[in-house]
Amino acid sequence: MLELLPAGKFLLDLIEKFAILIKNRILKERKLADPIRTQAQRVIDAFEAHDIPRQQIPYLLPNDQDIDMKFFSSADLLTEKINPRLIQFTAEILDLRREWLDGVDEHRHKSIHIYKRIDWATHWLKERRTVFNACSTLHIFIVQADDTLPHETGPILLVHEEALEPLHQLNISRYHLLSDIWDLEHPPCAETALALLALCETLGIPSMTHEVTIAQLESAANGSIFLSDAIKQAKHRFALNAEWVPLRYHANNLSNETHKTTWNNAVQLLKNAGIELPKYPK
């Protein structure tokens, strides 16, 4: 009988460890399900995704948010200090959707859809520059492994980035979706994308092309990842505008007839928006 005691103790220890494991798992699930903790975690995640380390967040806070640095070391601690003003401040400074920060929606970024709306895109881009004194960049996400022309098929996603003037020696960039996933085989999509690229050229806004997988493209479009993370995950290269926008804006400098038609229609979109491209000799 005495020989069974070690085995019995081992079994009891195993049951006790298993019970502790289950208890910890339940507590963790409850913690993750806590909506206030979700808000705290999303505030920290948002700043870090925009290259603001959590220990530097307090430098950006307004005077009515005097939250000690230690509370940003974890979502558990920040839960004690989270409040509507902090949520609203985070939404405004990073230009994110407050619904996502509140944990009631999964789409992080604001959508400024410009499909067939070059006139609105012109007004919006100029206003951002005037109001926020920001430097913009147009990001073009494609799936193809080689350079994509406007007349070719394939999904595309357009993203706007604006870099604000440094605040407390910290650089902040904000991101907006300018489209959902467009198919370049659909002429209005190709024409709008081409018109936007030409518009950005006239406004002095640089563009970058990023190669991504279709899964990464979908994640960026549906808001399940930050657009800043989508850019970091992609292969970077400067957009080869000569392959998108014809040399000196003349359609005759394009070799493909479909591309010429797309370009001429894009020029008409620009004219309808009151944008006249610079005139150069052919």
Q: Per residue in 82-136, pLDDT tens?
A: 999 999 999 999 999 999 999 999 899 999 989 999 999 999 999 998 888 889 9
| Interatomic CA distance for residues 93 and 96, integer angstroms | 8
Per-residue pLDDT of 187-219, as tens digits, reads 999 999 999 999 998 999 998 888 888 999 999
| Interatomic CA distance for residues 78 and 91, integer angstroms | 17
| Interatomic CA distance for residues 137 and 70, integer angstroms | 35
For the entire predicted model, the pTM comes to 0.83
The whole-number pLDDT of residue 151 equals 43
Does the pLDDT value for residue 149 go beyond 70? Answer: no
Does the pLDDT value for residue 14 go beyond 70? Answer: no
Q: Provide the token pair at 67.
A: 């939250």
Domain boundaries, given as residue ranges, for the chain: 2-101, 118-272
Per-residue pLDDT of 224-261, as tens digits, reads 999 999 999 987 666 655 567 777 777 777 778 888 89
Does the pLDDT value for residue 28 go beyond 70? Answer: no
Of 17-26, 153-162, 197-206, minimum mean pLDDT range: 17-26
User: Hey, which residues does 157 pair with through a beta bridge?
Assistant: 141
Cβ neighbours of residue 30 closer than 8 Å, sequence gap 6 or more: none
Q: Are 161 and 139 in contact (CB under 8 A)?
A: yes
